[in-house]
Amino acid sequence: MTRTLSAEIARFPLSTPFRISRGVKTVAEVVEVEVAQDGAVGRGEGMPYARYGESLDGALAEIAAVRDAIAAGAGRDDVLTLMRPGAARNAVDCALWDLEATLSGKSVSALIGDPPVGAVATAMTVGLDTPEAMGAAAAAYADYPLVKIKVDRNDPLAQIRAVRAAAPRPRIIVDPNESWTIAEVRDLQSALIDLRIDLLEQPLPSEDDGALAGFTSAIPIAADESAHVAGDIDALADRYQVVNIKLDKTGGLTAALTLADAAVARGLGLMTGCMVSSSLSIAPAMIVAARSGFVDLDGPLWLANDRPGGVRAERGMMRPPSPGFWGGLSA
C-alpha cells in the first residue's frame, strides 16, 4: 500500500456578507485535505474557527504532523487519538471516509449501516442587520420550511418580529451566538412563544451556561459553542434540550456519530450545523443531518461559487451532491 496526504488552503468569496453578533465574514477560508491510495483519492474539508483558537496555518501544521502516520496506514480510529477535535481533524477524518468509500465501492452511508442520504430541509439563515433589512431578507423564505435568525442584544425582539412578519409560515431558530444573559433568556420567554419560535440556539456564552442548569425553558435550547464531543454531554444534559453537531467542532464524521449517539442516549435532540464553507464540508454532515430534528447546512449557499457537483438546494430542501463528489453519496 502506498498512501500520501496533502493539504492546501482554499478560499471562497461570499455572494453577500454574513453577519453574526461576533462579526462579519466576506470570504470562507478552508483547509482541503486529500489522501491518495492505490489510484483512489479521498477528500475532506475543515474550516478553522478563531472562536476555538484555530487558524489556517495552525490547521496545516496539525495536518502535517500526522502525514507520516497517515502514509503508514493510520486510520480513522488512530486519527481520533493523534489529533485534537477541530477543523484539521475533520478534514483528515472525512478524507479517510471518502477514500474508504471509493476503495470499497460502497457509500459512507452503507459503510455505517445507514439508509441512503436523501433531501433534508435546511434552515436558511437571515444574517444580523437592521430589523427592516432582516424582514426584507426573510420575505424570500416565506414559504420555506425552516429559517434561522442571527440576533444580538440590540433589540432582538424587533429583529425576530420583523422576520416573523415577513415569513409567517416557517419553523424558526433564533441564534444569539452567545450574546445574551440568563436574565434576557428568562424575560424573552413569553415573546418567543408568541412568535412561535421552535429553537433557541446557544443564547449564553459557553462559560456562563451553568446558569441554565435546572432552568425550564418554554422553548427548547440548543448547545452549539458548548458542545464539541461526546465527553461534553454529561455536563450539558441538565442545561440544554438539543445538541448542535458540527463536524468542525467534533473533528470529523467519526466523532460526530459518537456525539450523536451520546446525545440521544441522554434524551437530547439533535441538530446538524455547519460553518460557512463549501459543499465538501456539507456532504459528510448530511449523514448526521438525516438523524436530526433541525438542520442548518446552508453554508455553501452563501458562496459566490461553490465546488462543482456539490449539494443543491431548492426552496429550502437540500439534496446530496452529484455522484463521485464525496463518499459515494448522490441524489
Cell, residue 163: 422576520
Model's pTM, two decimal places? Answer: 0.96
Q: Can you tell me the mean pLDDT for 273-277?
A: 97
Distance CA 104, CA 112 (A): 13
pLDDT at 2: 87
> For the packed helices 253-265 and 87-104, what is the interaxial angle rounded to 10 degrees?
100
CA dihedral 86, 258, 121, 224 (to 10 degrees): -50
pLDDT at 303: 97
Q: Can you tell me the mean pLDDT for 77-86?
A: 98
Confidence of residue 23 (pLDDT cuts 50, 70, 90): confident
Q: Can you tell me the mean pLDDT for 135-149?
A: 98
Q: Can you tell me the mean pLDDT for 41-50?
A: 97
Q: Where are the alpha helices (DSSP H) in 167-292?
A: 182-187, 189-194, 233-236, 247-250, 253-265, 279-289
pLDDT at 21: 75
pLDDT in tens, 295-314: 999 999 999 999 999 999 99
pLDDT at 1: 74
Q: Write down the CATH number for the domain with range 120-319.
A: 3.20.20.120
Round the average pLDDT of the chain to a whole number and report it.
97
SS (H, E, C) 136-194: HHHHCCCCCCEEEEECCCCCHHHHHHHHHHHCCCCEEEEECCCCCCHHHHHHCHHHHHH
Confidence of residue 189 (pLDDT cuts 50, 70, 90): very high
DSSP SS3 for 2: coil
CB under 8 A, 24+ apart: contacts of 76-84: 76/252, 76/254, 77/254, 79/252, 79/254, 80/251, 80/254, 80/255, 83/251, 84/251
Q: Can you tell me the mean pLDDT for 85-111?
A: 98
**Which residues of the chain does CATH 3.30.390.10 include?**
3-105
Q: Are 289 and 272 in contact (CB under 8 A)?
A: yes
Q: Are 208 and 182 in contact (CB under 8 A)?
A: yes
pLDDT at 119: 97
Percent of the chain with pLDDT over 70: 100
Fold of 3-105: Enolase-like; domain 1 (3.30.390)
**Which residues of the chain does CATH 3.20.20.120 include?**
120-319
Q: Are 90 and 319 in contact (CB under 8 A)?
A: no
In angstroms, the first-to-last Cα distance of the chain is 32
pLDDT in tens, 228-261: 999 999 999 999 999 999 999 999 999 999 999 9
Q: Are 288 and 260 in contact (CB under 8 A)?
A: yes
Q: Can you tell me the mean pLDDT for 17-45?
A: 93
Strand order in the sheet with 40-46: 3-20, 23-37, 40-46
Q: Judge whether residue 209 has pLDDT over 80.
A: yes
pLDDT at 330: 87
Q: Can you tell me the mean pLDDT for 151-164?
A: 96
Confidence of residue 194 (pLDDT cuts 50, 70, 90): very high
Q: Can you tell me the mean pLDDT for 150-168?
A: 97
Q: Judge whether residue 331 has pLDDT over 80.
A: no
pLDDT at 97: 98
Pick from 236, 184, 180: nearest CA to 205: 180
Instruction: At 51, give phi and psi (nearest 5°).
Output: -55, -30
Q: Which positions are catalytic?
A: 150, 246
Confidence of residue 22 (pLDDT cuts 50, 70, 90): confident
